[in-house]
Structure 1
Amino acid sequence: MPDPVLRLDPLRAWRFVAGKVSGLGAVTSPPYDVLEPAIVRRLTDSDLHNMVRLILPRDPDLGPGRYDEPAERLAAWQRAGVVVQDERPALYVYEQRLGNAVLCGLVGSLRLDPTRRVVLPHENVMPHWVDDRLRLMQATDADLEPILLAYADGGVASDAVDAARSGEPWVEAETYNEAEHCIWRIEDPVTVAAIAAELAKHEAVIADGHHRYAAYLERQLREPYRPGAEVGLAMLVDYVRHPLTLDPIHRLAPGLDLQTVQQRTPSGWQMQPGRVEGDPERISVTDGSSWLTLHTASDMPTVKLLHEVLLPAWGVVQEELSFHHTLADALALAGPQQLAVELTAPHMDQVLRSAAQGVVLPQKATSFGPKPRVGLLFRTL
Structure 2
Amino acid sequence: MPDAVLRLDPLRAWRFVAGKVSALGAVTSPPYDVLEPAIVRRLTDSDLHNMVRLILPRDPELGPGRYDEPAHRLAGWQRDGVVIQDERPALYVYEQRLGGAVLCGLIGLLRLDPTRRVVLPHENVMPHWVDDRLRLMEATDADLEPILLAYSGGGAASDAVDAARDGEPWLEAETDHGAEHRIWRIEDPALIAEISEELSKHEALIADGHHRYAAYLERQLREPYRPGAAVGLAMLVDYVRHPLTLDPIHRVIPGLDLDTVRLRTPGDWQMQPGRVEGDPNRISVTDGSSWLTLHSASDAPTVTLLHEVLLPAWGVAEDNLGFHHTLADALALADARQVAVELTAPTMDQVLRSAAQGVVLPQKATSFGPKPRVGLLFRML
Matches within 5 A, 1:112-127: 112-127=112-127
Shift of 1:267: 1.3
Q: Secondary structure in 2 aligned to 1:12?
A: coil
Query: Aligned pair 1:315/2:334, yes or no?
Result: no
CA distance in 1, matches of 2:182, 2:242: 15
Q: What do the CA deviations read for 1:206-247 (whole angstroms, capped 9, x no partner)?
A: 000000000000000000001200000000000000000000
Shift in Å at residue 298 of structure 1?
A: 1.1
Distance 1:366 1:176 in 2: 23
Residue identity opposite 2:77 in structure 1: W
Distance 2:146 2:260 in 1: 41
In 1: Cα distance, 2:352 partner to 2:56 partner: 31
Corresponding residue of 1:331: 331
Work out whether 1:110 is the aligned partner of 2:110: yes
3-state SS of the aligned residue for 2:137? helix
CA separation in 2, counterparts of 1:176 and 1:275?
32
RMSD across aligned C-alpha pairs, in angstroms? 0.4
SS in 1 for 2:198: helix
The SS at the match of 1:229 is helix
Q: Which residue of 1 is the match for residue 98 of structure 2? A: 98
Distance in structure 2 (CA, Å) of the matches to 1:364 and 1:207: 11
SS at the partner of 2:172?
Answer: strand
Residues in 1 aligned to 2:318 and 2:208: alpha-carbon distance in whole angstroms: 21
2:370 paired residue number? 370
- Give the counterpart letter for 1:96 in structure 2: Q
Partner of 2:71: 71
Residue 39 (structure 1) aligns with: 39
Letter in 2 for 1:264: R
Contiguous gaps of at least 5 residues in structure 1: none
SS of residue matched to 1:228: helix
- Matched residue, 1:248: 248
Could you tell me how far 1:177 is from its partner in structure 2? 2.3
2:43 is aligned with what amino acid? L
Amino acid at match of 1:286: T
Unpaired runs of 5+ in structure 2? none
C-alpha distance in 1 between matches for 2:318 and 2:173: 40
Aligned-partner Cα distance in 2 for 1:235–1:267: 45
Q: Please name the residue that 1:277 is paired with.
A: 277
Cα distance, 1:318 vs. partner? 1.0
Deviations along 1:266-305, one digit per CA (max 9) or x if unpaired, are 0110000000000011000000000000001111000000
Name 1:196's counterpart in structure 2. Answer: 196
Match of 1:282, as an amino acid?
R
Aligned to 1:221: 221
Q: Are residues 1:288 and 2:288 paired? A: yes
Shift of the alpha carbon at 1:176? 2.4
Deviations 1:72-113 (A, max 9, x none): 000000000000000000000000000000000000000000
Q: Distance in 2 between matches of 1:255 and 1:350?
A: 31
TM-score, structure 1 as length reference: 1.00
Partner letter of residue 171 of structure 1?
Answer: L
**Which amino acid in 2 is paired with 1:124?**
N
Cα distance in 2 for residues equivalent to 1:177 and 1:143: 27
- Tell me whether 1:3 sits opposite 2:10 in the alignment: no
Name the SS for the 1:351 alignment partner: helix
**C-alpha distance after superposition, 1:122-148 (max 9, x if no partner):** 000000000000000000000000000
Residue pairs, 1:11-30, within 5 angstroms: 11-30=11-30
Paired with 1:302 and 1:267, the residues of 2 have a C-alpha distance of 17
Alpha-carbon distance between aligned partners in 2 of 1:148 and 1:203, rounded to the nearest angstrom: 13
Map of 1:133 onto structure 2 = 133
Paired AA for residue 265 in structure 1: T
